[in-house]
Amino acid sequence: MTYYVLEFQYPRKGFISGGVTFTPELDTYYDPLQMEISSETTAEVILDSSVRKMDVDLFYTGTRALIVSDALKLLLEESNVKAQFIPAQVHYYNNVPVAGMYWVAHRLQQLDVVDYEHSTYAGKALVLRSIETPPRRIAKGFQQIVLDEFRIEGQEFFTLEYTYISNPIISETLYQECKKQQLKLHATPVGDFKP
């Protein structure tokens, strides 16, 4: 199966980004992978001043929060994607609310599914050695990513463990469903992605 990396930069739009504050306020910096967040928590996103029209279904903030539209959230839930969805009010820089409902996709499932032997990245020998003799090194400087599809075990939407890549990976099946629903996402096949 083909897998895609969801990009945070959109053609002709550039990066959609902003800052997030949580209520109740977090005790420390936001950690999208490890932090436990109460089910009563809500978020407010203030978009960067460069964002004039918000019409995408996924973006990433400077505080490392992944924001998804209500329509994308519904598809992710239907596909049994493991995540905590925190309601988020999104506003333009001038405090005008963005139309539609958005969510912080918190604690997405991380999978150790990079084929490190066949991928191309910086420090390959050190990373391969660390797999055999922990602690594991974080792979970075990818020129080409190859996934071990056997280890994905049918997951439709996830992030890559032991890498610096924060972009979600989406299966071709789920991506085609997103396109059918006319969701605005920018995706690149995993093998063509240049972080």
Q: Which SS3 state, helix, strand or coil, does residue 194 take? A: coil
The more confidently predicted of residues 180 and 194 is 180
- Domain edges within the chain: 3-112+143-192
pLDDT, one tens digit per residue, over 84-134 is 999 999 999 999 999 999 999 999 999 999 999 999 999 999 999 999 999
Residue 137 CB contacts under 8 Å (≥ 6 apart), including other chains:
123, 126, 127, 130, 162
> Which of these ranges, 6-20, 58-72, 113-127, has the smallest mean pLDDT?
6-20
The interaxial angle of helices 172-180 and 70-78, nearest 10 deg, is 140
Q: Which DSSP helix (H) or strand (E) runs through 70?
A: helix 70-78
Number of Cβ within 10 Å of residue 147's Cβ equals: 20
Give the pLDDT confidence score for residue 189 in this predicted structure.
97
Give the pLDDT confidence score for residue 12 in this predicted structure.
82
Is the per-residue pLDDT at 37 higher than 90? yes
Give the pLDDT confidence score for residue 21 in this predicted structure.
96
Spatial distance between the Cα atoms of 159 and 174, rounded to a whole number of angstroms = 15
Give the pLDDT confidence score for residue 99 in this predicted structure.
93
How much of the chain, in percent, has pLDDT values that exceed 90?
90
The pTM of the full predicted model, rounded to 2 decimals, is 0.93
